[in-house]
């Protein structure tokens, strides 16, 4: 007669002739679920936000901005991107269940309750806000606008034909915040924001928006079939067969405008070398996405942060070697 014995990690079945063991996978810990929720093992997401923010920080400070502001913006970027993942996964949980790439996210598969994910996101956002409080009033005021745009993005997919444009604003808001942190005065008024953020900062933000359109359209191309089936709106679906051409046009607008703004600010050879390296990467990405295969599009997205790094490295070197 068989007698099952449950010893936790193993199930043991015994009879008079043999003993068999069947492994039972251990449930992931809460810490492991939290790390999975914020994509801790996939740093490409926060690097996409970090490099343009650091470029702006260096330009605003005319060189190294100091360890305090560097720590604020590096840690703040990581924390806010992680908080954004929490909000996004709760908002999209019913859609993500039907998308191959996202079906196993912790909230989607039921491993984490939505309320707990939102609570974690709130804690991370508050930690980021605590960092912002160490800067100045204009930066703090801009942080509220940045938060509002970031929270709006997950719901834009239901109403906007190209929600990547909303994401572009959210992902680019570190640029004016960086200028405000360096140049802002100790004055609690919205006019202090206008005084702290010069016009070229907003032009850099607009330029960066086109980079976000490029790489997030590549990302949307990965999920094209699933998104069409469940009714999600994305730039890849809106652009249709013009998606590859549009991605390359977005890259061109971003890199040409970024180079033009840098030149008007007096940046020289090293800066332009960084733009050239970024352009070479964009051309390589064309070879990855031109056939619209999922693996190629996802690889182009996953490696896109190197475009931003090239622009930052060129900027930092140019300012350091003047």
CB 210 within 8 A of CB 253: yes
Q: 210 to each of 107, 172, 194, 247, 301, how far by Cα in Å? A: 31, 10, 23, 9, 14
Cα dihedral sign, 163-167-170-173 = negative
Residue whose structure tokens are 């999922």:
294
What residues contact 254, with CB distance under 8 A and at least 6 apart?
A: 207, 208, 210, 211, 214
| Tokens representing residue 299 in the block | 């690889």
Backbone angles phi, psi at 22, to 5 degrees: -120, 120
Instruction: Please tell me the predicted confidence (pLDDT) of residue 19.
Output: 44
pTM metric for this prediction: 0.89
| Tokens representing residue 173 in the block | 């808001």
Q: 170 to each of 6, 181, 205, 258, 313, how far by Cα in Å? A: 50, 18, 10, 18, 23
d(CA 241, CA 225) in angstroms, rounded, equals: 13
Instruction: Please tell me the predicted confidence (pLDDT) of residue 23.
Output: 53
Instruction: Please tell me the predicted confidence (pLDDT) of residue 96.
Output: 85
Instruction: Kindly give the confidence (pLDDT) of every residue in the chain, 322 residues in length, as a single tens digit, with 9 standing for 90 and above.
Output: 444 444 444 444 444 444 445 455 677 898 999 999 999 999 999 999 999 999 999 999 999 999 999 999 999 999 999 999 999 999 889 888 888 888 899 999 999 999 999 999 999 999 999 999 999 999 999 999 999 998 888 888 777 888 889 999 999 999 999 999 999 999 999 899 999 999 999 999 999 999 999 999 999 999 998 888 888 889 999 999 999 999 999 999 999 999 999 999 999 999 999 999 999 999 999 999 999 999 999 999 999 999 999 999 999 999 999 8
User: Which residues partner with 3 through β-bridges?
Assistant: 14
All domains in the chain, ordered by first residue: 1-37 (no CATH), 38-320 (1.10.357.140)
Instruction: Please tell me the predicted confidence (pLDDT) of residue 24.
Output: 52
Instruction: List, for residues 222-278, the tens digit of each pLDDT value.
Output: 999 888 888 888 999 999 999 999 999 999 999 999 999 999 999 999 999 999 999
User: Which residues partner with 21 through β-bridges?
Assistant: 12
Q: 161 to each of 72, 157, 233, 292, how far by Cα in Å? A: 34, 7, 5, 20
The CA-CA-CA angle for residues 44, 48, 50, to 5°, reads: 110
């Amino acid at each position: 007669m068989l007698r099952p014995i449950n010893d936790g990690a193993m199930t043991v079945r015994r009879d008079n002739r043999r003993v068999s063991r069947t492994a039972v996978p251990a449930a992931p810990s809460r810490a492991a679920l939290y790390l999975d929720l914020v994509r801790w093992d996939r740093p490409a997401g926060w690097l996409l936000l970090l490099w343009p923010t650091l470029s702006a920080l260096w330009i605003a400070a005319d060189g190294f901005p100091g360890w305090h502001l560097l720590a604020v913006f590096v840690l703040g970027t990581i924390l806010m991107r992680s908080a954004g993942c929490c909000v996004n996964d709760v908002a999209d949980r019913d859609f993500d269940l039907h998308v191959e790439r996202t079906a196993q996210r912790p909230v989607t598969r039921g491993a984490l309750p939505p309320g707990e994910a939102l609570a974690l996101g709130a804690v991370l956002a508050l930690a980021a806000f605590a960092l912002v409080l160490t800067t100045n009033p204009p930066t703090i005021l801009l942080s509220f606008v940045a938060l509002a745009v970031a929270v709006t993005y997950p719901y834009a997919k239901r109403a906007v034909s190209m929600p990547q444009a909303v994401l572009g604003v959210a992902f680019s808001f570190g640029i004016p915040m960086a200028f405000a942190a360096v140049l802002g005065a100790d004055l609690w008024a919205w006019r202090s924001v206008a005084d702290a953020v010069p016009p070229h900062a907003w032009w850099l933000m607009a330029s960066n928006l086109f980079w976000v359109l490029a790489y997030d359209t590549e990302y949307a191309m990965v999920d094209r079939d699933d998104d069409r089936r469940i009714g999600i709106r994305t730039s890849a679906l809106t652009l249709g067969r013009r998606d590859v051409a549009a991605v390359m046009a977005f890259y061109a607008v971003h890199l040409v405008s970024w180079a033009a703004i840098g030149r008007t600010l007096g940046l020289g050879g090293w800066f332009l070398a960084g733009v050239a390296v970024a352009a070479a990467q964009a051309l390589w990405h064309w070879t990855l996405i031109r056939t619209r295969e999922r693996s190629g599009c996802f690889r182009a997205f996953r490696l896109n942060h190197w475009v931003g790094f090239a622009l930052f490295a060129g900027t930092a070197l140019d300012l350091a070697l003047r």
